[in-house]
Amino acid sequence: MEALAAHAALAVVSAQRQSRLRELSIAAERARLARDLHDSVTQTVFSLTLSAETAASLATGADPRLVEQVDRIRALAGTATEELGSLLDTLRLAEDRRDDLATLLRRRVELLGRVHDVPIDLRIRGAQQTRSAATEYEVGRIATEALSNALKHANAGRIAVTLTYTEGKLRLTVADDGDGFDPAITARQSRRMGLSSMAERAAALGADLHVESSPGTGTTVSLEVLGDC
């Protein structure tokens, strides 16, 4: 029995070491991706934005249809810049191992509220509990996706984010007062709104994900994680 216990302890230690190595590998790859995006794509998008601004100034007095299209390009370039910046920020936040999920959410809410000029209320309830980096990253991504939907698709005027810690359980809710939608949406809409992505992330965590919505009544996304991964 002692020999079996010793072998079991070694197996546990080995599994923990392998898990830690995987987490470090993911963090390193995420940091490399953030650097590559910043050094290449960010500069290209920035140049596109400047070119669009210049084209808009030169198009003044031209064919109204041309002016409209140039303004659209300028708006799209601005949106691309904001979204890329948001993605880079997410990668860097996830890379920072010193910050817990609550801190990451605070930074995300502050950034998105500033970029989109929409009030986002964040509440942290219960005693904070440390989860694995993988779990906190996936929960953070689901929160970001839900916030993105509310800001980009729902025309929300206010958003409430609640992170609740209880014994052995983590619950996240993202509620908005936007347009809402019919839950019987098509597969195409599901992909566009990232609902499939959120469901896949929740399934990987063994968590329960619920999306409640109806036209004109807003949307509430709730995630419940039992234990840890």
pLDDT of the chain, 229 residues: tens digit per residue: 777 777 777 776 676 666 655 665 666 666 667 666 665 676 677 777 778 778 877 777 778 888 888 888 877 877 777 777 767 666 665 554 456 888 888 888 887 887 778 899 999 998 877 778 778 888 988 998 899 888 888 889 999 999 999 888 899 999 999 998 887 764 455 555 578 888 888 998 899 999 999 888 899 999 999 866 5
Task: Residue 154: name the closest of 200, 123, 185 by CA.
Answer: 185
- Pair type for strands 169-176 and 159-166: antiparallel
Q: What is the model's pTM?
A: 0.59
Question: What are the tokens at 142?
Answer: 């689901």
Task: Residue 173: name the closest of 199, 207, 210, 205 by CA.
Answer: 210
Domain assignments of the chain as residue spans, ordered by start: 1-97, 99-229
Question: What are the tokens at 206?
Answer: 């063994």
Q: Which CATH code is given to the segment(s) 99-229?
A: 3.30.565.10
Task: Residue 79: name the closest of 124, 30, 116 by CA.
Answer: 116
Burial class, 94, CB count within 10 angstroms (exposed 0-12 / middle 13-18 / buried 19+): buried
**pLDDT computed for residue 24 by the predictor:** 58
**pLDDT computed for residue 97 by the predictor:** 47
